[in-house]
Structure 1
Amino acid sequence: MEKIESLRHLFVTVFLATFSGHTVIPAITDVTMEALCPGKDECSLAIYLSGFQQAVTGIGSVIMTPLIGNLSDIYGRKMLLTLPLTLSILPLVVLAYSRTTNFFYAYYVLKTVASMICEGAVHCLALAYVADRVSEGKRASAFGILSGITSAAFVCGTIVARFLPTAQLFQVAAFSSMAAAAYMRIFLEETRDISDTSTQPLLESEPDSIDNGKKVLQEELPQNSSDASIQSLLKSDPSNSSDDGNSSHKVRGFKKIPSIYDIMSLLGSSKTFSQVAVMVLFNSLADGGLHASLMYYLKAQFQFSKNQFADLMLIVGFAGMVSQLILMPMLLPVMGEEWLLRCGLLVASTNMILNSIAWDVWVIYAVAGFTLFVLFTYPLMRSIASKQVGASEQGKAQGCISGIGSFANIISPLVFSPLTATFLSDKAPFYFPGFSLLCIAICTIIAFIQSLLMRAAPQTPGDILA
């Protein structure tokens, strides 16, 4: 019961945080273009600024998300959740006050800085929290429920955006963001006792503590003891492994920061984990490209506004709820994680091809309905990856996967923002407004091909990284 209650508090926190973020998405394109290019349906400056923000956010996330995930293994999920939930409040407060050009640029700077530090961190830590509480056999379904909660928040936020005026949207979003941080601090419990030194990395032990422990053992151990293992333990002195008496202190300070070697060791220790990493890379390239391209493509081609964006997002949100809360639990026992993942990636690539050649607005809405089979791809990839590491490395593993996705978000806008701006302008080398969406489909196809090559290995019973 205690585990169920803690998961409920986590789901409420994720719902409030996701609700605040998605409430403003349908309006942000109009707000951006009104601040930068008033009265126009196409604005290259808005596309480039959005792409730059996405790339800079990716650079920060590549560094911060694995670090936050790793630190959460040491200091606990709740403590590390406080940082992203608090920082996300500031940009929303700015646009809640005013959306003029100067305030938009202030929002732009604050949003960029906040996203660099905590983009994806809430989702990463929530996944690690669920992995702490749920057994491996039920983890895929639990991840699906978490994604379903996210989709429910997406739907609720989009409904609010559909009917509220823009000025009130940002006020509601700011209040929800504050509520998420306060609720988490008051009700959420840690998944484990972070003072339990049995889960701490060995290199973090203080030399004085080791010496004191050895003295106690020596006093209690009979002098004629023949226990070779204990005698061997007493003779092994980590502090003597280096001539520098302060070496262990130095290691202790930097061991908490995941190095490139740690990430490469994690990727190399499991073929399945590395295959999931490749799928996440290309799927994130596609998602980042979609974020940089689709809304501006719809604005230019079909004159979408806040209400049309909200309608489209409602379709996607309802599809996500049905997919992750109903369809995924039904299909998992029948198809298994691997085939369900392949199905999702195949439908995703087909959707992008259809969007790129859409000849009428109804095609866009029809394709959005097929996201029913797409939105469980990330929970499945996360679930497969989580089973390849031990219990004390869930934060590190999820942080690594999030870091790879963030790296893709650096590359994606650098490629797709100029591509979108070029093919939506009068200077396009040939007429194909949806060409960038076709390139996004190619990225998803590569992820699909990688999923065909994957053979899920049995999970590792202990920690992968020593």
Structure 2
Amino acid sequence: MENWKNLLHLFVTVFLSYFATLLVNPTIADVTMEAVCPGKDECSLAIYLTGFQQAVAGVGSVIIMPLIGKMSDAYGRKALLTIPLSLAIVPLAILAVKRTTEFFYVYYALQTLTAMVTEGGIICLALSYLADNVSEGKRVSAFGILSGVVAAANVCGTLTARLLPTNRIYQVAAVVAALAAVYMRIFLQEKTSSADPLEHPILKPAIETTEAENEPLTKTDVIKKIPLPKEVIRLLKSSPTVPLASVVAFFNSLAEAGIQSFLMYYLKARFQFQKDQFADIWLITYIAATLSSMVLMPILGPLLGEETLLCMGLFAGFLNMFLDSIAWAPWVPYISATLGIFLFLASPSIRCIISKQVGPYEQGIAQGCLMGITSFANVISPLIYSPLSALFLSDSAPFNFPGFSILCVGLAWFIGFLLSVFIKFRPFFSRERARSEPCLLA
């Protein structure tokens, strides 16, 4: 019972954090355009600024995510969760004060820096915490529920953004982000710690064993392991499934990063969508995602397996982008958004596949490395899609196809789908058991 209380506190923390972050999503395109290109429906500078921010944050995350994961294996998930949850408050507080051009650029700089830790850090540590507290057989459902919590936060955040005026949105987001950090520090318990959560030192080792053997893990041991390229390579070689799943994760994230950054600019230029229309699109998408993660995944996961759900999600992503790229009327993006019920099966399936390939004391480094790979996709994505989006939304496009860059996003999902067909795996404990059991064949 105590274990489920801890999971509930984790879900509440993740919900509050993502609610604060996602509350501003429907307005950020309008705020950016108003700050850098006031009065215009098309703005290449806004697209390039968004792409640059994504690329810089991605480069930092490639290094920081494996480090955070590794440190959480030693010092505990709660201690490390404090860092991204606290940093997430700062950029929101800036725009809560004012949204003038000067304040926007201060927000832009701080958001670029903090995103290196916040964008992947919270979900990485939450997934590691789940893997610590949930058995292998129930992990696909738990990961699905966590994705459903994120999707539900998106629904609530988007609906709230639909109702609130822009000047209140950032104030509410900053307050909720602070509440998430305080709630986590008070209520969330480390798996191995029985001390009062408020007395848990931020740099006290919480897991007292190394991955390979039951020996004390000291601060010196952890510091020696901070250079992580060797560990990343070892992880990728740990089973044939891991490198293939990592490549699929890269293409999935390449597409996700493209759609999150540039779809709103495309819809704004194509159909003159504003805050309310963006909110409606995200609302439909994440209601579908909530149903997918909290209903479909726990039911279908044990029946079909993570590999099948992954294939379904990736192909749905391709269909979604294909419909958006050829959208002939403003209602088409609303219809394609319903495919989120299948699209959002992909990410938790990949995470669950990776989680089952490593041992109990490698969950942090495994999820951190996976986040590092997806962050690298965030670096590559704007290099590909920013110039394409700016070119095909301008008057100098080589041919009349405004949605060409959106179609290219869909092709990344299609490549991931083709690769995912070949994923076959045996969980870590099954492989360990096979090694330890004597051969029965003479």
TM-score by length of 1: 0.87
Aligned to 1:263: 232
Contact 1:78 1:185 (8 Å CA) reproduced: yes
Q: 1:311 to 1:200 in 2, by over 3 A?
A: same
**1:367-378 alignment, distance < 5 Å:** 367-378=336-347
Does 1:38 pair with 2:38? yes
Q: Secondary structure at the match of 1:454?
A: coil
Aligned to 1:104: 104
Q: CA deviation at 1:376?
A: 1.4
Q: Deviations for 1:108-144, whole angstroms, at most 9, x for unmatched residues?
A: 0110111123321000000000000000000000000
Aligned to 1:146: 146
Q: 1:265 to 1:68 in 2, by over 3 A?
A: same
Aligned to 1:305: 274
Aligned to 1:92: 92
1:440 aligned to which of 409, 412, 437: 409
Q: CA deviation at 1:330?
A: 2.0
Does 1:449 pair with 2:418? yes
The 2-side partners of 1:333 and 1:253 are apart by: 36
Q: Secondary structure at the match of 1:428?
A: coil
Q: 1:203 to 1:260 in 2, by over 3 A?
A: farther
Number of aligned pairs? 421
Aligned to 2:387: 418
Q: 1:424 to 1:204 in 2, by over 3 A?
A: farther
**1:338-357 alignment, distance < 5 Å:** 338-357=307-326
1:252 aligned to which of 221, 226, 236: 221
Q: Which runs of 5+ in 2 are unaligned?
A: 194-204, 433-442
Q: Which amino acid in the other structure matches residue 58 of structure 1?
A: G
The 1-side partners of 2:127 and 2:206 are apart by: 22
Q: Secondary structure at the match of 1:391?
A: coil
Aligned to 1:226: none
Q: CA deviation at 1:204?
A: 8.9
Q: CA deviation at 1:337?
A: 1.6
The 2-side partners of 1:63 and 1:159 are apart by: 35
Q: Deviations for 1:179-237, whole angstroms, at most 9, x for unmatched residues?
A: 0000001111112244553347779969xx9xxxxxxxxxxxxxxxxxxxxxxxxxxxx
Aligned to 2:161: 161
Q: Deviations for 1:298-338, whole angstroms, at most 9, x for unmatched residues?
A: 00001010000000011011101111111222222332221
The 2-side partners of 1:261 and 1:196 are apart by: 22
Contact 1:128 1:395 (8 Å CA) reproduced: yes
Q: Deviations for 1:355-378, whole angstroms, at most 9, x for unmatched residues?
A: 111111111100001111110111
Q: 1:362 to 1:423 in 2, by over 3 A?
A: same
Q: CA deviation at 1:386?
A: 0.3
The 2-side partners of 1:350 and 1:462 are apart by: 36
TM-score by length of 2: 0.92
The 2-side partners of 1:196 and 1:11 are apart by: 22
Q: CA deviation at 1:433?
A: 0.5
Q: 1:195 to 1:345 in 2, by over 3 A?
A: closer
Aligned to 1:127: 127
Aligned to 1:197: 208
Q: CA deviation at 1:252?
A: 3.3
The 2-side partners of 1:289 and 1:127 are apart by: 24
Aligned to 1:48: 48
Q: Deviations for 1:438-465, whole angstroms, at most 9, x for unmatched residues?
A: 11111111100111111122324699xx
Q: CA deviation at 1:256?
A: 3.3
The 1-side partners of 2:355 and 2:135 are apart by: 11
The 1-side partners of 2:131 and 2:236 are apart by: 19
Aligned to 1:287: 256
Q: Secondary structure at the match of 2:428?
A: coil
Q: 1:284 to 1:389 in 2, by over 3 A?
A: same
Q: Deviations for 1:251-294, whole angstroms, at most 9, x for unmatched residues?
A: 73643315211101100111111111011001111111112321
Q: Which amino acid in the other structure matches residue 369 of structure 2?
A: C
Q: 1:181 to 1:330 in 2, by over 3 A?
A: same
The 2-side partners of 1:305 and 1:347 are apart by: 26
Contact 2:140 2:297 (8 Å CA) reproduced: no
Aligned to 1:236: none
Contact 2:132 2:360 (8 Å CA) reproduced: yes
The 2-side partners of 1:301 and 1:281 are apart by: 29
Contact 1:389 1:462 (8 Å CA) reproduced: no
Which structure has the larger Rg? 1
Contact 2:71 2:222 (8 Å CA) reproduced: no
Q: Which amino acid in the other structure matches residue 326 of structure 1?
A: V
Contact 1:390 1:462 (8 Å CA) reproduced: no
Q: Which amino acid in the other structure matches residue 408 of structure 1?
A: A
Contact 2:211 2:362 (8 Å CA) reproduced: no
Aligned to 2:293: 324
Q: CA deviation at 1:421?
A: 0.4
Contact 1:14 1:149 (8 Å CA) reproduced: yes
Q: 1:109 to 1:267 in 2, by over 3 A?
A: same
Contact 2:312 2:345 (8 Å CA) reproduced: no
Q: Deviations for 1:416-449, whole angstroms, at most 9, x for unmatched residues?
A: 0111001000111111101111111111111001
Q: 1:203 to 1:410 in 2, by over 3 A?
A: farther
The 2-side partners of 1:254 and 1:190 are apart by: 21
